[in-house]
Structure 1
Amino acid sequence: MNTNFIIRTEDIKLSEITNIYVETESDRSIINNLKSNSQLLLIGSRGIGKTMLIKVAENELNREYSTEKVLPVYLSFSKSMLVNNRFDNKSFQYWMYAKLLNEFRNSILEKGIITVDSDPFKMLFKQEEKSESNLDKFIAILESSWRNQRKIEKKEIIEILGIDESNFKVIDDIDFIKEIIKTFCVKFSISKVIFFFDEACHNFIPRQQREFFSMFRDLRSPHICCKAAVYPGISYYSTLQLFHDVNSVVIERNIADENYIESMRNMVRCQIEDHRFREKLEKQGECFDALIMCCDGNPRLLLKSIEQASKGFGSFKKNNVNSTIKDFYRVQIWQEHTKLSSFYPGHKEMIDWGRIFIENNVLIETKNKNGKNGKQTIFFAIHKDAPESVKSSVRILEYSGIIRLHTEGTKVRGEIYDRYQLNLGVVVAYEDEKSSVERSKEIFENLSVKIYTEYGKNSPVFNGINKGISLGSESEDMIIVLNNILQKSLDILDLTQHKKNELQKINIRTIKDILESTEEDLQKANYIGPFYSRKIHNVAYNAALEYISG
């Protein structure tokens, strides 16, 4: 029996979520917040489990709909970077509003609240085909705007949507959309509509972030509330005010929690059908736990490191685990961070400086402190008035999962600092001890938050960065950024070598080639029929989107 971990929640059917979901006390609190009537930002680094919690909340609301009448509407913004047209500054807004209304419509169709034959939307969108709605067509056109750099005129939009000119506000006026939703809620006794925005603001595009959070702020009423999954550090909230306009909650699986090891073990167990491999993991419990300690509560990092350490779910030996920790947290995790500078050259200085700061300063100081004390540390603190460029660099490190904010606004000798926590695996890999497994356990069992290095507002280590740059600046030409990504070889995608070989046979060699290909293109390769071509195309297309969205 083969073992294949499901790394991304998007690959799981909603009905199967509960089969691999392992709940903790903090997870239940977050899910209850996601199901509540308040606006919410769900903050967490890549792979920490934001989508999983949203999907669990959506699944529960679906089951409870007959009694509670709360309608969940899930929207993924993973394709937002493709809505990239330098000739039309309204295209992203049109795309957001069209997706919003389209997914609301799909949700009430799926619930049987309306039917295809008695669909009130047909009064708004005329001459629709049964196979594809006019909104679907319009969304697809906007998602290919990166390829067709031209302004879509109002007259053309009206024709695509099949609307009267007086109804153009369906994609141009958030209050009009709110009225449409209110009408449905009143007519069909829907108590509340909860919009779940996933992959919201996952890229470094301040303009898109400002537009999204403006919509998020305005899209609230007695009938509507919104939840959005965002990354720490890089989200630019514009006029949206945390605390006043929206609540926020951070996903944390604290390695200091009493049940941390066991809950992470259970997450892995739920994904292993092969009892022989499960027995190997349990037999090498010390090695299993070391990978759990090093992942800092991030399920994606844990699953990928187990797959690497077991050489594709074969053996699971201490030597392999030791070498995996060193490679995974000293090489691979930093490669993921550094590759951001090839996507976003305008942020290169902040990305590169952040790595230098951690490797040449924080990790050295951490190792020195750990060598002098029985108690161990993975903590450091930065003054709240440090240069904005420094704070922006640190936020990108949070986004990459190399560090995370531990305590905001802690007092140190009368001054206010933010305390950060290094990924334990990064610390262990840097120290390069003979046994990473044993060193992980030593640090884990002797951690003290009282031991850390402080970096004041005028620390000399900040002298190496330009003080005039920040994440909020419009420093990127997003057409160039997207082209940089699209020209990457498909070798970097999370695809099997067999699938890569099949794609290369028909000259599909880059991410751009994948996005521009069709199922019919794949059938030109030897021995690929309609069913298999659809499967390969879907896998390749989703892998390309995953790479673009991070």
Structure 2
Amino acid sequence: MVDILYRTEDLRKEEINEYFVETEVDRNIIDALKGRNPVVVVGSRGVGKSFLLKKAELELDDEFVDDRILPVYISFIKGTLLGTKDDDVFSAWMVARIARAVLAKIKKKGLMVSLNYTRAAITDSAGAPVELDRLEDIINSMEELWRSDDAPNRDDIRAIPDVEELKDAIETICEELNIRRFALLFDEAAHIFAPSQQRAFFSLFRDLRSPYVTCNAAVYPGITRFGNTFQPHHDATMLNLERDILSAEYLSNMFDIVSKQVDSSAIRKISRNRSNFNLLAYSSTGNPRMLLKLVSRSHNMSSSEVNSTSKDFFREDIWSEHSQLAERYGGHRDLIEWGRTFITQSVLPSLKERNEKSIALERPTTAYFWVSGKSSGQVMEALRILSYTGVVSQETKGLRATKSETGTRYLVNLGLLLSQEPTPSDSARLVYESLSLKRMIEYTSNSGYFSSINAFEFQVDDTGPELHNILSQPASRLDLTDWQHSKLEELDLRTIGEVLDADESVFLEAYYVGTHRARIMRNAAVAAVLEYISG
């Protein structure tokens, strides 16, 4: 089986189109991202948010000559490296990245030569034009702050325009170059547990709106804090990226996602063992990255392999990732640990027991549970964190249950449920083939399962992760392939900080790694580091 690429960051531009498997949900989101109204795409890690942002960018680029809408893709994931709790510094960094991305896109499109730079300049606080190279230097210096305890250079901060100056410059650029508007596509926009930075981003998101700028963003569910100035559903269209496991096209879509990345030998093995593949497809609960990982661990697609993969991944790996959040975000520790206990000791056993009775009586099965809207803030916060890590998915809010209370229906990760079977390849099919939205497990606000967490005095942790502590943790915790981990060991890169600090020349020292592969390896390693830091 060939190397499988899990992250959009690892894909070349032409591979975005090559690997794209269109569903109705995907197409609706892409079209919305291309539209004039602001959009916030909500989805857990690995569901394909970045991929859809990139696909929208490609389509707008292809249509630019006719439509004159210029897309600009901007990733904010390196905000975790600023090492500062100063909101002004973070806001300046965001504006600098936007300004740089806009100028770089104009240059890449070959439009810079037509720009009257004396009129359409992006200027600093003194009104002087800020060159692209100057912005590059400022951003790089700010993103290197993690290496030391130095304070940001205040001259650099003053050289960055404010939001209104940026908007004025963009309007003039549009007039100069006959551009209808810029479509800003923010990736990793609110990805960490530091609410102050999230609020700063959404204030910027709202302030940038104009006839010449449309802001779009991808965020994780559960943990995003919008602040007081940004009102979800009023200031943007909120779209959830979830693949419907009950759809008639679900299995064929998931197969297409895999078939675009594996070789013909792997496709033959999947075709010969289609029921085993179906188990992995349902276990992924519509998450492409999760499915690709499961398939890569099941080379021959045999029943014994699939059973082992299912149990190892969903009984150990997924919970290990969830529990590691407690190490990075101490203020959320009790909520994180309670959430795991609630799912493993209450939700999963209850669903399994109900499904066994349903199968015996030839009734529909379930993977859903409902929580009363009157439940405490602690309970709802714990469920939001479970949504963030992909353990559960929020399905429907305001749903009335059997006792006339309204609440929220959740889907538990199917892999967690199906891995409870003694031999998933034999019996899990009876569960996933008869799934229904009905017969959900219900938890009222006074449920005994909530008593322990209700006593916890929870306050939102506004500090985010302690960067230097995270960088000292072992590199083995990074989400990389076995081969990539073996190369980190070969290069003696033992900690997350050492991986982040290593440049391409270090990776070139690995056996059987040339210039091209060294660049790919470093990019993958840095992406994994930044993802780990951000939670």
Taking structure 1 as the reference length, what is the TM-score of the superposition?
0.89
CA contact (8 A) 1:195 1:226 kept: yes
Q: Match of 2:248?
A: 258
What is the letter of the counterpart of residue 238 of structure 2? S
| 1:67-82 map, 5 Å | 67-82=66-81
Alignment of 1:419 onto 2:409: yes
For residues 385 and 276 of structure 1, what CA distance do their matches in structure 2 show?
Answer: 53
Pairs within 5 Å for 1:369-388: 369-373=354-358, 374-388=363-377
Query: Is 1:185 aligned with 2:174?
Result: yes
Partner of residue 35, structure 1? 34
Distance 2:371 2:390 in 1: 18
In structure 2, distance between residues paired with 1:123 and 1:396: 40
Match in the other structure for 1:269: 259
> Which amino acid is 1:291 matched to?
L
Q: How does 1:80-479 map to 2 (within 5 A)?
A: 80-86=79-85, 88-115=86-113, 124=123, 133-155=133-155, 157-158=157-158, 161=159, 170=161, 173-239=162-228, 240-272=230-262, 274-310=263-299, 315-373=300-358, 374-412=363-401, 413-430=403-420, 432-433=421-422, 435-467=423-455, 469-470=457-458, 473-475=459-461, 477-478=463-464
TM-score (norm 2): 0.92
Quote the offset at 1:80 in angstroms. 1.4
User: Bigger CA drift: 387-396 or 500-509?
Assistant: 500-509
Taking the aligned partners of 1:505 and 1:283, their CA distance within structure 2 comes to: 37
Give a deviation string over 1:71-96, Cα, whole Å, max 9, x none.
1000011111112224x442111110
Q: Residue 486 of structure 1 contacts residue 510 of structure 1 at CA under 8 Å; is this kept in 2? A: yes
**For the residues of structure 1 that align with 2:499 and 2:111, how far apart are their CA atoms?**
37
What residue identity is the alignment partner of 1:411? R
Letter in 1 for 2:378: S
Which residue number in structure 1 is paired with residue 466 of structure 2?
481
TM superposition shift of 1:407: 1.2
For residue 519 of structure 1, report the CA deviation from its aligned partner: 3.8
Amino acid of the structure 1 residue aligned with 2:412 = L
What secondary structure does 1:193 align onto? strand
Query: Which ranges in structure 1 are unaligned for 5 or more consecutive residues?
Result: 162-167
**Residue range with higher mean Cα deviation, 198-207 or 447-456:** 447-456
Describe the superposition over 1:324-343 as per-residue Cα deviations: whole angstroms up to 9, x where unpaired. Answer: 11221121111111111111
Letter in 2 for 1:101: A
Moved more, 182-191 or 509-518: 509-518
Select between 446-455 and 461-470 the one with higher mean Cα deviation.
Answer: 461-470
8 A Cα contact 2:39 2:238, kept in partner: yes
Q: Is the 8 A contact 1:70 1:194 kept in 2?
A: yes
Backbone CA RMSD of aligned residues: 2.5
Instruction: Find the counterpart in structure 2 of residue 22 from structure 1.
Output: 21
Q: Is 1:85–1:149's contact at 8 Å kept on the other side of the alignment? A: no
Aligned partner letter, 2:261:
Q
Query: How far off its partner does 1:351 sit?
Result: 0.4
The Cα of 1:546 is off from its aligned counterpart by 3.2
List per-residue Cα deviations over 1:170-205 (Å, max 9, x = no partner): 0xx211111110010111110111100011111111
Cα 1:275/1:145, change in 2 over 3 Å? same
Displacement, 1:404? 0.5
Provide the rounded CA distance (Å) in 2 between the counterparts of 1:283 and 1:527: 34
CA distance in 1, matches of 2:115, 2:213: 26
Q: CA deviation at 1:508?
A: 3.0
Quick one: distance in 2 between partners of 1:282 and 1:192?
47
- Give the SS at the match of 1:255: coil
In structure 2, how many angstroms separate the alpha carbons of the residues matched to 1:339 and 1:49? 23
Correspondence for 1:66: 65
Which shifted more, 353-362 or 315-324?
315-324
CA distance in 1: counterparts of 2:486 and 2:445, whole angstroms: 52
Specify the alignment match of 1:543 in structure 2: 528
Report the Cα offset of residue 61 of structure 1: 0.2
> What amino acid does structure 1 have at the position aligned with 2:65?
S
Deviations 1:354-410 (A, max 9, x none): 011111111121122112223211111111121001000001111111110111110
Percent identity for Structure 1 against Structure 2: 36
Equivalent residue of 1:85, what SS? coil
Q: Which amino acid aligns with 1:418?
A: T
Whether the aligned pair in 2 keeps the contact of 1:378 and 1:427 (CA below 8 Å) is yes
When residues 182 and 381 of structure 1 are mapped into structure 2, their CA distance, relative to the original with a 3 A threshold, is same
CA contact (8 A) 1:294 1:440 kept: no
Deviation at 1:147, TM superposition (A): 2.8
The separation in 2 between residues aligned to 1:278 and 1:528, in whole angstroms, is: 28
Q: Which runs of 5+ in 2 are unaligned?
A: none
1:152 to partner: Cα distance: 2.9
Counterpart-to-counterpart distance in 1, 2:96 and 2:77:
15
Aligned length: 525
- On the 8 A contact 1:424/1:440 being kept in 2, the answer is no
Q: CA deviation at 1:246?
A: 1.3
Separation of aligned partners in 2, 1:477 and 1:361: 32
* Shift in Å, 1:241: 0.9
> Residue deviations 1:278-318, cap 9 Å, x none?
111111111111111111111111110011122xxxx2211
Query: What amino acid is the match of 1:452?
Result: M
What amino acid sits opposite 2:152 in the alignment?
A: I
Give the secondary-structure state (helix, strand or coil) at the position aligned to 2:441: strand
Give the whole-Å Cα distance in 1 for the aligned partners of 2:428 and 2:445: 32
CA shift in 2, pair 1:182/1:429, >3 Å: same
What displacement does 1:528 show?
7.6
Aligned equivalents of 1:420 and 1:395: distance in 2?
11
What are the Cα deviations for residues 452-479 of structure 1, in whole angstroms up to 9, with x where unaligned?
A: 1211112221111155555xx442644x
Give the superposition deviation at 1:491.
2.1
Distance in 1, Cα, partners of 2:165 & 2:116 = 22
Q: CA deviation at 1:536?
A: 4.5
| Amino acid of the structure 1 residue aligned with 2:404 | G
Does the 8 Å contact 1:322/1:436 carry over to 2? yes
> Does the 8 Å contact 2:43/2:219 carry over to 1?
yes
Q: Which amino acid aligns with 2:76?
A: F
CA distance in 2, matches of 1:334, 1:302: 17
Give the letter for the 1:512 counterpart. G
Query: 2: distance between equivalents of 1:505 and 1:28?
Result: 43
Compare 239-248 and 207-216 and name the one that shifted more: 239-248
Matched residue, 1:44: 43
Is the Cα–Cα contact under 8 Å of residues 197 and 227 in structure 1 kept in the other structure?
yes
Q: CA deviation at 1:504?
A: 4.9
